[in-house]
Amino acid sequence: VTHDQTEAMTLGTRIVVMKDGVVQQVDTPQNLYDRPENLFVAGFMGSPQMNFLEATVMKEGADVYLALTGTSSRILIPEARARVLLEKGYENKSVVFGIRPEDLKDEEMFINNSTGSVVEATVKVYELLGAEVFLYLGVDGLDHEITARVNPRTTARPGDRIRIAFDLSKMHVFDKDTERVIVH
């Protein structure tokens, strides 16, 4: 038994994640990280924790977007995930979009190939950790920062306005009310 998620991830082959005495998920360390079943598990596994952004599922023609609450930013949802959201009745409904810090990219090559999944942000804090950098970013209209784990050779510094791309192959969408995962 441990409250240290790093210890559990490194030593365990199967982990039980509990909250207030209730089992949230039982799985392998990798599945807990990659396929969390709810917001609690998603936020508990990983350091820094997953970014959570409130959004509304919007459909325009054949495209389905996540309109980030409080911002003018929209994220184009990949077709397979969009289909799941529509089939489950989430069109025009509020959800929670989850993305891990390492799945936010500031490299120009990735940004240029990420049609519909790029937002502008202001670097608030630059934290060099040797092999990686954490950027704490402000997105206009959001009431909290998002965290990106990027290459240490990034040129971004506090105060810079940058474009950041979301690797949507790693996205998670959660039901805002039940906090259960809708789609990975």
Residue type, 77: I
CATH code for the domain of 138: 2.40.50.140
Residues 32 and 82 in one domain: no
Residues 68 and 87 in one domain: yes
Calculate the alpha carbon distances from 149 to 89, 106, 155 in Å: 33, 9, 13
Residues 136 and 106 in one domain: yes
- Bridge partners, 135 (sequence order): 126, 148
Does a cis peptide bond (omega within 30 degrees of 0) precede residue 152?
A: no
- Give residue 1's pLDDT: 74
CA 46: distance to chain centroid?
11
- The whole-angstrom separation of Cα 20 and Cα 55 is 28
Residues 162 and 105 in one domain: yes
Helix-then-strand count for the chain, H and E: 5, 13
CB burial of residue 86 (10 Å; 0-12, 13-18, 19+):
middle
- Bridge partners, 43 (sequence order): none
- The whole-angstrom separation of Cα 148 and Cα 162 is 12
- Give residue 60's pLDDT: 97
Residues 93 and 105 in one domain: no
Along the chain (184 residues), what's the average pLDDT of each consecutive run of 10 residues?
81 94 97 98 95 98 97 95 98 99 90 85 97 96 96 95 95 98 97
Six-digit token string for 162: 């940058």
CATH code for the domain of 88: 2.40.50.100
Residues 78 and 123 in one domain: no
Name the pTM for this structure: 0.93
Whether residue 55 contacts residue 96, with contact meaning beta carbons closer than 8 Å, is answered with yes
List the domain range (segments joined by +) for residue 32: 5-44
- Give residue 114's pLDDT: 78
- Give residue 29's pLDDT: 96
